[in-house]
Amino acid sequence: MTGNLTFGIIKPDSVKAGTTGSIIQRIIDDGFEIRALKLIHMTLKEAQGFYAVHRERSFFPGLTEFMSSGPCVVITLEKTGAVRAWRNLMGATDPAKADQGTLRKEFGASLSENAVHGSDSDENAAIEISFFFSQIEIV
Ligand code: GDP
């Protein structure tokens, strides 16, 4: 893994709303290369494992229930400075506070249903990529 990879999720609210294609187009238009991509439906246990760092937070039960409520698209992205670039395209965690032109501003409905996920560091990107993808799935 290098500093040029990051991990993202097109969350269940987006997949349900039919905006997956629009979000993927925005990702490509922003200059990212897609290195891995698949549609999955997490169990509650898998969502709890993925978000284990937040397990003490008050929003953990709602977050993990939401993330396991339907299919989502997991994605590995490559770009120079990928972690920061992807977080810039996503926008602030709360869509109400996200800048114009960001994915969360355009597609997010609320703090809990905010359209997309992105790794917050190179270290977590490597952990999250390997949580969802095996070596052979990354091109
Ligand atoms: P992110 O890195 O911008 O996704 O934000 P965090 O890592 O802090 O939080 C993970 C996810 O938990 C966010 O994307 C939100 O969906 C959710 N979340 C974070 N903070 C809150 C909160 O205060 N309330 C609720 N309901 N959800 C939250």
Residue nearest to atom 27 of ligand 1 (CA): 112
Catalytic residue among 63, 64, 117, 119: 117
Contact 105, 98 (CB under 8 A): yes
Read off the pLDDT of residues 32-43 as tens digits, 9 standing for 90 and up: 999 999 999 999
Read off the pLDDT of residues 46-100 as tens digits, 9 standing for 90 and up: 999 999 999 999 999 999 999 999 999 999 999 999 999 999 999 999 999 999 9
Report pLDDT for 82: 98
Q: Is 59 in the pocket of ligand 1 (CB under 6 A)?
A: yes
Report pLDDT for 3: 82
Q: Is 64 in the pocket of ligand 1 (CB under 6 A)?
A: no
Report pLDDT for 1: 45
Nearby residues of 105 by Cβ (< 8 Å), 6 or more positions away:
91, 95, 98, 99
| pLDDT band (50, 70, 90) for residue 2 | low
Q: SS3 string of the chain?
A: CCCCEEEEEECHHHHHHCCHHHHHHHHHHCCCEEEEEEEECCCHHHHHHHCHHHCCCCCHHHHHHHHCCCCEEEEEEECCCHHHHHHHHHCCCCHHHCCCCCHHHHHCCCCCCCCEEECCCHHHHHHHHHHHCCHHHCC
Kindly state the percentage of the chain with pLDDT values over 90: 98
Q: Where are the domains of the chain?
A: 5-137
Residue nearest to atom 3 of ligand 1 (CA): 93
- Computed over every residue of the chain, the mean pLDDT equals 97
Cβ neighbours, 10 Å, residue 134? 8
| pLDDT band (50, 70, 90) for residue 28 | very high
Cβ neighbours, 10 Å, residue 96? 12
Report pLDDT for 24: 98
Topology adopted by domain 5-137: Alpha-Beta Plaits (3.30.70)
Strand pairing report for 5-10 and 116-118: antiparallel
Residue nearest to atom 14 of ligand 1 (CA): 93
Reply yes or no on whether 41 is catalytic: no
Confirm whether pTM is higher than 0.75: yes
- Region 3-30: mean pLDDT is 97
